[in-house]
Amino acid sequence: MKILKFGGTSLANAKLFLRVVNIIEKSVKKEQTGVVLSAPAKITNYLADIIESKIYDDSMLKIVFISENIFFQLIKDITNIQLSFPYKEVKKIIQKEFNKLKKIVKNIILSKKCPENIQAIVLSRGEILSVIIMKNILKSKKYKITVIDPIKNILAIGNYLDAKVDINQSKKNIENININKNDIILMPGFIGGNEKKELVLLGRNGSDYSAAILSVCLNAKLCEIWTDVDGVFTADPRKVLNSYLLKKISYQEAIELSYFGAAVLHPRTIKPLKKFKIPCLIKNTTNTQSKGTLISQENDVEENHLKGITHLDDITMITLPGFIINNEEKKILSIVKNFSKKNIKIILTTQSSAEKNISFCTFEKNIDKILILLKQNFKSKCKDILNYININKNLSILSIIGSCIYKKNNFLSKIFFILDSLKINIFAITQGSSKNSISIVIKKKNILKAVQNVHNILFSKKKIINAFLIGIGGVGRALLNQIIKQKKVLDKKNIKIKVCAIANSKKILLENSINLKNWQENFNKSKEKFNLEKLNSLLINNSHSNSVIIDCTSDQYLSQQYVHFLSKGFHIVTSNKKANTDSFKYYNEIRNTAFLENKKFFYETNVGAGLPVIKTLQNLFNTGDKLISFKGILSGSLSFIFGKLEEGLLLSEATKEAKKRGFTEPNPYDDLSGIDVARKLLVLAREAGHSIELKDIKIEPILPKSFQQYNNAEELLFYLKEFDAQFLHLIKKARNEKCVLRFVGTIEKEGSCSVKIEKINKKDPLYHIKNGENALTFYTNYYQPIPLVLRGYGAGNDVTASGVFSDLLHTIL
């Protein structure tokens, strides 16, 4: 014997209804089958609208007519597909049922009240009609049918809307029914009958519960619950995109998942199955090929100890102070029992050992009832108790479920780390009595990003970087290309880079994960403007952990937002030198903020593009070394330009060629003025511990100050021709002295810095540096008299992008 239960989404239209018939037929060929049906999708919601309406007028009847027409359309569509279906006969039955319902609703309108017994009758119509339709489909296909009336046979105790089944008596009742072994058994879900044989309901979404009860009563070997998802996932797949299907979970894990909010299961479904050791298989009606999730005594040892993340919303936490509850343990137990009698669900409790405060969480709808009960129970102890009770509203409970969860190494520290990085405060944390769950109380507004990011860190094997790229000039574009090319390599290392934003000074493309293969096309289509307001909105609404702002601009204003970025939970990777060469006060503020916020601030490409300059120096200085002096060619663009001058190009020609190849800053004046080299030298000096400002660096520029007036590259390159002859004279003079000209930055022992054109002879290591190369010579306590020399390309989009890429990866490595 097997029991199949089909939910409302599985019966939403004629095609799905007949697909269910096909599933039943396949099952019947193998073994006798019982079927529990819900109402078609939306029907119960419509019927609930009737009883929840506070306006007692004809609008209630309109809802009845809408529901009736849904059923008429359903059976009409079924008839068009299955011609043998007895359309007229079934339509008469449906009309008769709805005529009864219309009379009931008219009485509700007249009396302006709807007692619970009437509510139960109204709400159950959908399930009853589903069984009538299914019975007639199967009979038209020549199957023999037994319909079990749950009102007569499923004994339920409690109120009319949320009764609990007496399984032993129900089992006896059903065993007394004469069921032919070849019959297909049908029963409407959600419904039971009390001792007076009145219709009662088993709680909203109680059809799962009905299926479990019928499985016990008919001694089924398996209970299958068919729904619109493939089974039980590690999280809600609609909210967590990388959640995955669980092959097996234990009964206890399923109970915990249900209790703490998993929508696939009814909280009371699993307990009777567990008691009678009946496995339960969750399947997808629209994807019958999926193997689903099996719930049984056995656990899947191949899978993670952790099985899922769930959450409950609209939670309120009420805290009773220690002085009120001191020596009142019995009273507390009594109050909790009263809560239960009043159908007030206490989801979890925590107690402070120091102050002996007790906190408990419940749904917000219960607050008023709870406060009344507390006031009544503590009247003698404290007349103004409500003044001392602390109430926290708008909360959610995040729960992590798994077998022997306490054996999972470091998982709590991972959760705390991720919540801290997202700036999410924890109001309470508790472990379930079964030791299969950990629950954390946080603000409701944070629950979605908490669920997504905790799931990523606990269940995903991949380390995820959420990148927000600002600046799509040569370096930004090269970076995107490198990320695309390295995807397979990163996949093997379980690293995933999600680019969530691409922006320039005018607009921004925002997606959860931008498809980089056609990013340019989508960026061009984007109508989102990029400005300070949009940037702040991006920071505030960011729901990703390990989020990284990548600054591939040379924008001063953007660099002045770094402290703000860090304080909002973003790492920063930058090729922009403006932040590190701003005031020394701001320089320190960035680092202090990064430290306090536990965020990374990486800027390797500020000096030497992709060369490992900054990390090398930091490693040296962190292990006790000190800089004595430095000399180097720090500009790849000037290295290229001065090399071309040796080959006979004029200064204007060489500069134009360097700009064309992407070696220069957006405005080449920054290179030729010496300010770009000065900034790089300042970065090195500050790394070495010198507290200096940019103005402290002595700069002897390549160009006269008169060129400062040219604010764009085109203008500068045009007027640069005027300086060609003067510069050619300098080159010839150096050549006569068997030297070459190089633009050199130096740091002396006491920290004095300068940048200027120097004549370099053949014995100097800088003599051969050209074509875009950088060369940096460091004399330190450890590296003398032979210096530490770093040499390589220090300009170009690709090498700079590779340095940014390396920094980006180091945010997680």
Helical (H) or strand (E) element with 481 = helix 474-485
**Beta-bridge partner residues of 430:** 439
3 φ/ψ sector (left φ>0, alpha ψ -120 to 50, else beta): beta
Residue 791 lies inside a defined structural domain of this protein? yes
Whole-angstrom distance, CA of residue 549 vs CA of residue 43 = 48
pLDDT score of 405 more than 80? no
pLDDT score of 560 more than 70? yes
Residue 507 lies inside a defined structural domain of this protein? yes
- Report residue 223 as tokens: 């209970």
pLDDT score of 722 more than 60? yes
CA distance to 81, 587, 699, 745, 752, per residue, from 684 (Å): 78, 13, 16, 10, 12
User: Within this chain, do residues 679 and 775 fall inside the same structural domain, yes or no?
Assistant: yes
How big, in percent rounded to 5, are the helix, strand and coil portions of the chain? 45, 20, 35
pLDDT score of 197 more than 70? yes
User: Within this chain, do residues 213 and 317 fall inside the same structural domain, yes or no?
Assistant: no
- Of 606, 633, 653, which residue sits at a domain end? 606
Whole-angstrom distance, CA of residue 436 vs CA of residue 457 = 19
Instruction: Write the CB contacts of 434 (distance below 8 Å, at least 6 apart in sequence).
Output: 252, 256
Helix axis angle for 724-736 and 636-646, nearest 10°, is 70
User: Within this chain, do residues 478 and 584 fall inside the same structural domain, yes or no?
Assistant: yes
User: What was the pLDDT predicted at 381?
Assistant: 58
Query: Is the omega angle on the peptide bond into residue 785 within 30 degrees of 0, that is, cis?
Result: yes
Report the percentage of the chain scoring pLDDT > 90: 69
Least confident of 115-129, 155-169, 174-188, 532-546: 532-546
pLDDT score of 481 more than 90? yes
Whole-angstrom distance, CA of residue 284 vs CA of residue 292 = 7
Please write the tens of the pLDDT for every residue from 292-301: 999 998 766 5
Confidence bin at 325 (pLDDT 50/70/90): low
Whole-angstrom distance, CA of residue 466 vs CA of residue 500 = 6
Question: Domain count of the chain?
Answer: 4
In one letter, which amino acid is 399?
A: S
Whole-angstrom distance, CA of residue 89 vs CA of residue 80 = 15
Least confident of 121-130, 329-338, 422-431, 432-441: 329-338
Q: Count the alpha carbons within 13 Å of 759 in the hemisphere toward its beta carbon.
A: 10
Confidence bin at 324 (pLDDT 50/70/90): low
Least confident of 53-57, 253-257, 346-350, 690-694: 53-57
Please write the tens of the pLDDT for every residue from 482-500: 999 999 999 999 999 999 9
Whole-angstrom distance, CA of residue 708 vs CA of residue 716 = 9
Domain of 777: which CATH number?
Answer: 3.30.360.10
| The one catalytic residue among 462, 680, 738, 759 | 680
Confidence bin at 304 (pLDDT 50/70/90): low
User: Within this chain, do residues 71 and 208 fall inside the same structural domain, yes or no?
Assistant: yes
Whole-angstrom distance, CA of residue 38 vs CA of residue 23 = 16
Please write the tens of the pLDDT for every residue from 502-545: 999 999 999 989 999 999 999 999 999 998 777 778 777 777 78
Please write the tens of the pLDDT for every residue from 35-46: 999 999 999 999
Average pLDDT of span 61-74: 96
Residue 533 lies inside a defined structural domain of this protein? yes
Residue whose entry in the numeric block shows the structure tokens 């130096």: 746
User: Mean pLDDT score of the chain, rounded to an integer?
Assistant: 91
Hey, how many other C-beta atoms are within 10 angstroms of the C-beta on 56? 15
User: Within this chain, do residues 470 and 455 fall inside the same structural domain, yes or no?
Assistant: no
User: Within this chain, do residues 70 and 131 fall inside the same structural domain, yes or no?
Assistant: yes
User: Within this chain, do residues 562 and 668 fall inside the same structural domain, yes or no?
Assistant: no
Is 680 part of the annotated catalytic residue set? Answer: yes
Average pLDDT of span 608-618: 93
Whole-angstrom distance, CA of residue 272 vs CA of residue 208 = 11
Whole-angstrom distance, CA of residue 681 vs CA of residue 411 = 44
Whole-angstrom distance, CA of residue 157 vs CA of residue 148 = 19
- Of 405, 437, 459, which residue sits at a domain end? 459
Cβ burial, residue 135 (10 Å; 0-12/13-18/19+): buried
User: What was the pLDDT predicted at 436?
Assistant: 84
Maximum Cα interatomic distance, the chain, rounded to a whole number of Å: 117
| Domain residue limits at 574 | 463-606
Please write the tens of the pLDDT for every residue from 137-154: 999 999 999 999 999 999
Confidence bin at 591 (pLDDT 50/70/90): very high
User: Within this chain, do residues 545 and 589 fall inside the same structural domain, yes or no?
Assistant: yes
**633, 743 in Cβ contact below 8 A?**
yes
Residue 96 lies inside a defined structural domain of this protein? yes
Residue 247 lies inside a defined structural domain of this protein? no
- Report residue 407 as tokens: 């054996």
Whole-angstrom distance, CA of residue 563 vs CA of residue 574 = 13
- Of 589, 606, 623, which residue sits at a domain end? 606
Count the residues in the chain: 813
Confidence bin at 329 (pLDDT 50/70/90): low
Report for 223-232, 265-274, 330-339: range of highest mean pLDDT = 223-232
User: What was the pLDDT predicted at 48?
Assistant: 92
User: Within this chain, do residues 635 and 575 fall inside the same structural domain, yes or no?
Assistant: no
pLDDT score of 564 more than 60? yes
User: Is 508 strand, coil or helix?
Assistant: strand
Confidence bin at 127 (pLDDT 50/70/90): very high
User: What was the pLDDT predicted at 407?
Assistant: 67
Please write the tens of the pLDDT for every residue from 658-684: 998 888 877 888 889 899 899 999 999
Helix axis angle for 125-140 and 59-81, nearest 10°, is 20
Nearest partner of 627 among 685, 683, 677, judged by Cα? 685
Domain of 54: which CATH number?
Answer: 3.40.1160.10
User: Within this chain, do residues 442 and 478 fall inside the same structural domain, yes or no?
Assistant: no
Confidence bin at 623 (pLDDT 50/70/90): very high
Whole-angstrom distance, CA of residue 244 vs CA of residue 131 = 33
205 φ/ψ sector (left φ>0, alpha ψ -120 to 50, else beta): left
Instruction: Write the CB contacts of 593 (distance below 8 Å, at least 6 apart in sequence).
Output: 563, 566, 567, 599
Domain of 525: which CATH number?
Answer: 3.40.50.720
Residue whose entry in the numeric block shows the structure tokens 């940037």: 535
pLDDT score of 336 more than 80? no
Average pLDDT of span 56-71: 93
Confidence bin at 331 (pLDDT 50/70/90): low
User: What was the pLDDT predicted at 128?
Assistant: 98
First to last CA, the chain: 54
Residue 246 lies inside a defined structural domain of this protein? no
User: What was the pLDDT predicted at 372?
Assistant: 83
pLDDT score of 421 more than 90? no
Average pLDDT of span 625-635: 95
Helix axis angle for 43-52 and 87-111, nearest 10°, is 20
Cβ burial, residue 676 (10 Å; 0-12/13-18/19+): buried
Residue 746 lies inside a defined structural domain of this protein? yes
- Report residue 568 as tokens: 């909002």
User: What was the pLDDT predicted at 380?
Assistant: 58
Confidence bin at 374 (pLDDT 50/70/90): confident
Report the percentage of the chain scoring pLDDT > 70: 96
- Report residue 219 as tokens: 């001694």
**Beta-bridge partner residues of 224:** 4, 281
User: Within this chain, do residues 206 and 335 fall inside the same structural domain, yes or no?
Assistant: no
pLDDT score of 699 more than 60? yes
More confident residue, 325 or 477: 477
- Report residue 194 as tokens: 């009390």
Domain of 410: which CATH number?
Answer: 3.30.2130.10
User: What was the pLDDT predicted at 670?
Assistant: 83
User: What was the pLDDT predicted at 193?
Assistant: 97
State how beta strands 222-227 and 199-201 pair.
unpaired
pLDDT score of 382 more than 60? no
Average pLDDT of span 369-383: 73
User: What was the pLDDT predicted at 211?
Assistant: 97
Average pLDDT of span 366-393: 78
Residue 512 lies inside a defined structural domain of this protein? yes
Confidence bin at 408 (pLDDT 50/70/90): low
User: Is 632 strand, coil or helix?
Assistant: strand
pLDDT score of 656 more than 90? yes
User: Within this chain, do residues 549 and 672 fall inside the same structural domain, yes or no?
Assistant: no
